[in-house]
């Protein structure tokens, strides 16, 4: 039971918060709902303040940990991972814009608040502010400059400083941000329930999650087709060998915990021990196709129910930036959606209610996203093994490559 609660405790708390939110929204008087709205206002401002800190703490640490001088294999791995994530994002976009409008038509205008909040709440909204130290775009650019700079000049002092800052922010996320998520989700579902649309919302989003899982499976199949063509191997055979990685990731919801299983499966697919031991831990950090799929699809679904136009001109920079920001995601509960929250606000214009719904949706299917991530890592390892074998004098993925 202790192991179960440790693994699925956050999901269970969010489920409880969702149920309680629905009940409070349906049966509680307007005054109680106004108080819940005020609480969520405070939490949303606190999250807005924390987002730039999270971006700097995790992106700088993630990028500076990649030693860009360590050889061709690292550069090729990063390039393949980035392409895999971009393709996943675009597949998700084109599937979503063609299917979701039909599924979500009944849930439109969900976030219009039928409760006229008390004057106190309105006053608090305008008078109490916790401004972030910088906007999200500035935090991203600063993080890229510092992270790449530290790696290029091998700045050990700065690397240690930002590593300790990363540890502080990681502790902050674990101890404060994550426990606030169920409360935040509770407030959002109070608002949605009080609108009278909750049944349509839950029905619509259950279908969205099913579509997302189908996209995960389709993208994994595409990745192994590509790996099979490059390595001249049967994609179905390659996929069969990595099923243990998929099921283990689905159960543990942790890319890191699956690494030993992934290494064993990669060896069964003909990947050398040197490549397996180098590529798979690296890809657990830089390759998150499943998370890209989940966030892209969920963001489009949330935009549709809020009647926000889903334009390719906005989604292209969003997906390009999202694929980079994912380097900040691993190792933290809800790390992917926290890392993405900044660009959801700055590029797509999401407000706090939309971010909260994104968090709830992401946690609900996080295991499937993690499973897609680690399964795709195996395809990258197969491709890299084939590339390495064509490099003259290459026996191990090291500086000499």
Q: What ranges do the domains of the chain cover?
A: 2-389
Cα distances from 378 to residues 3, 13, 47, 220, in angstroms, run: 27, 33, 35, 10
Look at the alpha carbons of 321, 73, 148, 291 in this order and tell me if their dihedral is positive or negative.
positive
The first and second tokens of residue 387, run together, are 């590339």
Q: Say whether pLDDT at 342 is over 80.
A: no
Q: Rounded to a whole number, what is the distance in angstroms from the first to the last CA of the chain?
A: 48
Which candidate, 41, 43, 59, 230, places its Cα nearest to that of 127? 41
Q: What is the DSSP letter of 117?
A: -
pLDDT of residue 223: 94
Give the pLDDT mean for 333-348.
Answer: 78
Give the pLDDT mean for 274-299.
Answer: 86
Name which CATH class applies to 2-389.
mainly alpha
Residue owning tokens 């499966």:
265
pLDDT of residue 293: 94
Give the pLDDT mean for 263-278.
Answer: 85
Q: How many CB atoms lie within 10 A of CB 63?
A: 23
Q: What is the DSSP letter of 196?
A: T
Residue 108 C-alpha from the chain's centroid: 25
pLDDT digits 0-9 by tens, 208-257: 889 999 999 999 999 999 999 998 999 999 999 988 888 888 766 667 66
Query: C-alpha angle with apex 170: 165 to 171, nearest 5 degrees?
Result: 100
pLDDT of residue 215: 95
| pTM to 2 decimal places | 0.75
Cα–Cα distance for residue pair 393/217, rounded to 1 Å: 37
Q: What integer best gives the mean pLDDT of the chain?
A: 78
pLDDT of residue 69: 44
Residues near 270 by beta carbon (within 8 Å), at least 6 away in sequence:
231, 233, 382, 385
Residue owning tokens 């292209």:
316
Cα–Cα distance for residue pair 316/359, rounded to 1 Å: 22
Q: How many CB atoms lie within 10 A of CB 397?
A: 24
The first and second tokens of residue 357, run together, are 């719904």
The first and second tokens of residue 147, run together, are 């992270």
Q: Say whether pLDDT at 375 is over 80.
A: yes
Q: Which residues of 20-32 are buried (b: 16+ CB within 10 A; e: fewer)?
A: bbbebbeeeeeee
pLDDT digits 0-9 by tens, 387-399: 877 764 444 444 4
């Amino acid at each position: 039971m202790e192991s179960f609660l440790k693994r699925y405790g956050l999901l269970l708390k969010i489920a409880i918060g969702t149920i309680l939110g629905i009940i409070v929204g349906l049966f509680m008087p307007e005054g109680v709902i106004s108080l819940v709205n005020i609480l969520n206002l405070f939490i949303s401002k606190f999250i807005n303040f924390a987002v730039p800190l999270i971006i700097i703490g995790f992106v700088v640490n993630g990028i500076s940990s990649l030693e860009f001088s360590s050889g061709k294999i690292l550069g090729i791995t990063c390039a393949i991972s980035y392409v895999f994530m971009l393709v996943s994002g675009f597949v998700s976009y084109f599937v979503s814009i063609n299917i979701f409008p039909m599924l979500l038509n009944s849930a439109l205008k969900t976030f219009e608040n039928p409760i006229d909040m008390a004057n106190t709440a309105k006053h608090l909204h305008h008078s109490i502010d916790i401004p972030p130290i910088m906007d999200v775009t500035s935090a991203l650019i600063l993080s890229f400059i510092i992270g790449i700079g530290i790696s290029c000049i091998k700045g050990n002092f700065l690397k240690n400083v930002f590593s300790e800052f990363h540890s502080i922010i990681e502790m902050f996320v674990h101890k404060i941000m994550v426990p606030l998520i169920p409360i935040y989700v509770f407030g959002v579902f109070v608002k949605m329930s009080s609108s009278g649309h909750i049944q349509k919302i839950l029905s619509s989003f259950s279908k969205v999650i099913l579509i997302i899982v189908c996209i995960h499976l389709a993208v994994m199949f595409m990745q192994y087709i590509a790996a099979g063509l490059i390595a001249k191997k049967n994609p179905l055979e390659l996929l069969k060998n990595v099923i243990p990685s998929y099921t283990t990731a689905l159960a543990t919801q942790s890319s890191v915990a699956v690494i030993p299983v992934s290494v064993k499966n990669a060896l069964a697919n003909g990947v050398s021990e040197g490549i397996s031991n180098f590529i798979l831990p690296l890809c657990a950090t830089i390759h998150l196709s499943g998370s890209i799929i989940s966030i892209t699809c969920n963001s489009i679904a949330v935009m549709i129910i809020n009647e926000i136009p889903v334009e390719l001109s906005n989604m292209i920079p969003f997906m390009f930036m999202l694929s980079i920001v994912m380097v900040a995601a691993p190792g933290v509960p809800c790390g992917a959606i926290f890392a993405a929250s900044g660009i959801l606000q700055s590029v797509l214009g999401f407000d706090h209610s939309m971010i909260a719904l994104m968090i709830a949706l992401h946690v609900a299917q996080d295991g499937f996203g993690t499973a897609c991530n680690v399964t795709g890592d195996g395809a990258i390892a197969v491709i890299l093994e084939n590339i390495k074998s064509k490099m003259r004098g290459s026996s191990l993925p090291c500086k000499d490559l």
